[in-house]
């Protein structure tokens, strides 16, 4: 279980950073920007599917739903936004390799 949790946590962190940058990119469609703001609002909103005052179960919906929604939004980002994020991070997108 722990072997799967750490890579997913690292991926989630990268997806959140990518969403933050995509929120300000002009190529990102309005509905994805609105969905990003909805996820942030859902995270801080006291009204959830399962209320947070219920021990453990109140946090389970946040722990499961937030990464699912973030992953869904990132998977629908347009190619130019994803490519721009890779270029800014120094990753190649043209198939050539670079050494650091």
pLDDT given at position 87:
58
pLDDT given at position 80:
75
**DSSP string computed for 33-68:** HHHHHHHHHHHH-S--SS-TTSTTHHHHHHHHHHHH
Q: Which of 21-30, 40-49, 68-77, 90-99 has the lowest mean pLDDT?
A: 90-99
> Does residue 88 sit in helix, strand or coil?
helix
Q: What is the pLDDT of residues 63-97, one digit of tens each?
A: 888 889 999 999 898 877 766 665 555 554 455 55
Is the confidence at residue 99, as pLDDT, over 70?
no
pLDDT given at position 86:
58
**Rounded CA separation 82/22 (Å):** 8
- Split at pLDDT 50, 70, 90, the class of 38 is very high
User: What is the pTM for the complete model shown?
Assistant: 0.69
As to burial, measured by CB atoms within 10 angstroms (0-12 exposed, 13-18 middle, 19+ buried), residue 83 is: middle
């Amino acid at each position: 279980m722990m072997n799967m949790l750490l890579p997913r946590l690292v991926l989630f962190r990268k997806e959140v950073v990518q969403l933050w940058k995509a929120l300000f990119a002009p190529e990102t469609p309005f509905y994805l920007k609105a969905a990003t703001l909805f996820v942030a609002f859902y995270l801080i909103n006291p009204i959830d599917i399962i209320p947070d005052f219920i021990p453990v179960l109140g946090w389970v919906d946040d722990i499961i739903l937030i990464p699912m929604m973030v992953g869904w939004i990132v998977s629908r980002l347009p190619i130019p936004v994803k490519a721009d994020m890779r270029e800014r991070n120094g990753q190649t997108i043209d198939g050539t390799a670079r050494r650091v």
